[in-house]
Structure 1
């Protein structure tokens, strides 16, 4: 097996940190200066390696090592380069760095694959900035809805179309459904990513082979509207307390979640933001309004629908009992995805051949790999152990774990691209 260029990988991580450290964590804002610098860094290094570099209408980045038979479907890897505000340095970026490290090793040894191999730097995976899932990958397949281009970034208030256009993209082409990628032209997509939860760390596993990716159902701008009243002069029987109604909803849904898990459902439920109006709420007022968001995730569409129905039914009952009104606002979400079994076998076999015992696990977090899978592209994900979770500045991926993951990725890409003979897959 050709050794990947891990020195290049370490240098890229250092440069990414230097260009996106905000004083507390890492901020690579979607269609902003942070994400743009990361894409420029990867493109510059790819050119130095002699790779072909191109972008599409959404400014997704494609870094390609040409194969001997360019008419064959391309082998693809990669991930996103944006981050949440004050996140970590490895979320997303590790997958792009890993792909470049693999290709740099092949180039160093003068190896040429039978078919093209492309590392994709995907735009706008983190929906913290725009309330749309998988902007970059759906755009690449011509699937971004025209309405999504009118969505506004959380901090600037400006539209997605404006942000894309300012950086040189072509939002008008995206509105027409212009596609850069066709499923039949892609042999496979394999995404390396840090695990964003505690499973690998807790189980002592350096690597994880992902079985499937959860879909989501989200209310990002929900509100409960009651009535403001004097905190001392209004008895309980006359209150329309929005905060109490929300507390009752959260407590009720926690019980529903527990009951669904007990009956075999796999899901998560999060009320990630809860806010009263700072201009009206006061210690001496009964709160008349509260804003909140809801994030439901599962690998099963029926489970998503079931918990949503339970949520809405509970809210209807609380409207009657608490004298409040629920306003759910726009709904967003993403579809679950199943990972390709032969690719799972290949990743597991590559890990075992390298002396690493991987763990199988689902991904509760969303990833662009879901877009590829749901377009019919054979897709797989490899998780690298990461302490302290993700979406925070304390991400802590060990370089030895990353190196093991890159070697495993490189072996599978080489097999798919005709650079190495495939090994017999290990049974799952």
Structure 2
């Protein structure tokens, strides 16, 4: 598809955005076919093609294009004062397997459409404005959160380069090098971004839950981003035994033990919510060994993964204590052993109050139905906020949830949200006619 550069307008270039969304979908179909949603694999062909599309479009617009050691993409409209801290926007371009077309990509496309409109209208910001295409946000490929944004700030660390991609069983180091990145720079902690050089970071993203759709509201101003704690590769180890010949008193049943833990934690979750805690608890994976399990066997082994999310560190810690207490009780009762494995997670983040107010004011000027709401999903914006950078997120109404092929963001909602974002960015960046 030939991506057209817009005619003069001060508005975000929505036709350009529409073409980019269509090209992203077309590129994915060329790689994976049209039947199974979007798969832009982290440090693989899918993510790579998305980055190449955004970079080539930016070059045609006349933007400066650069990357860092992790291949995060930076598309910059130079400001009058290039020594001033830059204003940034953007999001990620990878997706989960068989996901949707708008998760992450909407934020990068929005940023490009805003800059395209400014350029065509002969406008220039006072400071540099950079659209960032973040690598490796989705932990569905490598079991670690925020790989790209951590790398940008020099925070990833050498050990992370040895983690394996879950489908290929090859290391992050290998995948990164094959895409043209520089693992040595990441291992050395080289920081491409420094907090003191960033005036603010604003991320537009689809809402991944049902709140805006059910409320009939177009946009949401995010108040905070949940942190998480995860045990991704946990196991319960018991003893296999004959289902008919082994009485209950002699069983070491791994499935029964895990079932009790899950049921107990559901009760703990309900009690915590009644006490005012906001959190979610998910056992997203539970499976037995297909080579060993049988309907006529007492289960001797079951694997599971558990994910807890909250904006409160205290709530995360309380639920982890409940988990450990439930595990200890189940071990004693059933004569099994829980091997929880490595604990991973991310820190909660609070969005900047002034930027929230500015986004709300823009929504009101544009007469957009809106609300403030927390984000249960993690986003790169959390990492920026926790570096002390003024950070905000704007959610766009999206039907059918996310992390599935049926994401349904209407272009009109995207355009409305992008206009609100553009107003805030223009004011923050000191946008004015070019000299």
Superposition TM-score tier, normalisation by shorter sequence: over 0.9
How do 1:140-289 and structure 2 match up within 5 A?
140-289=152-301
The secondary structure found in structure 2 opposite 1:126 is coil
Which residue number corresponds to residue 19 of structure 1?
27
> Match for residue 95 of structure 1?
107
In 2, distance between residues paired with 1:292 and 1:179? Answer: 36
Q: Equivalent residue for 2:77?
A: 65
State whether structure 2 residue 12 is matched by structure 1 residue 4.
yes
Per-residue CA deviation, residues 305-326 of structure 1 (Å, 9 max, x unaligned), is 1100110111001000011100
Matches within 5 A, 1:342-381: 342-381=354-393
For residue 167 of structure 2, give the secondary structure of its aligned residue in structure 1: coil
Could you tell me how far apart the structure 2 residues matched to 1:145 and 1:287 are? Answer: 39
CA deviation after TM superposition for structure 1 residue 420, in Å: 6.0
Structural mapping, 1:305-344, within 5 Å: 305-344=317-356
The match for 1:109 among 114, 121, 125 is: 121
Aligned length: 421
**Distance between the aligned counterparts of 1:306 and 1:151, measured in 2?**
29
SS in 2 for 1:271: strand
How far apart, CA to CA, are the structure 1 residues paired with 2:27 and 2:260? 44
- The runs of 4+ residues in structure 1 deviating greater than 3 Å are none
Instruction: Give the superposition deviation at 1:357.
Output: 2.7
CA deviation map 1:326-366 (0-9, x unaligned): 00011110000000000001101111111113110000000
| Match in the other structure for 2:5 | none
1:145: Cα distance to partner? 2.2
Q: Please list every run of 5 or more consecutive structure 1 residues that lacks an aligned counterpart in the other structure.
A: 422-428
1:148 is displaced (CA, Å) by 1.1
Q: Are residue 290 (structure 1) and residue 302 (structure 2) matched?
A: yes
Matching residue of 1:56:
68
TM-fit CA distance, 1:166: 1.0
Distance 1:12 1:221 in 2: 37
After superposition, the CA RMSD in angstroms is 1.0
1:402 maps to which of 408, 411, 414: 414
User: Which whole-Å CA distance do the structure 1 matches of 2:271 and 2:343 have between them?
Assistant: 25
Distance in 2 of aligned mates of 1:192 and 1:376 = 19
1:240 aligned counterpart, secondary structure:
coil
What is the rounded CA distance, in whole Å, between the counterparts of 1:262 and 1:376 in structure 2? Answer: 33
* Mapped partners of 2:432, 2:210: distance in 1: 34
Deviation, structure 1 residue 107? 0.7
* Structure 1 residue 2: Cα displacement: 2.1
Correspondence for 2:50: 38
Q: Which runs of 5+ in 2 are unaligned?
A: 1-8
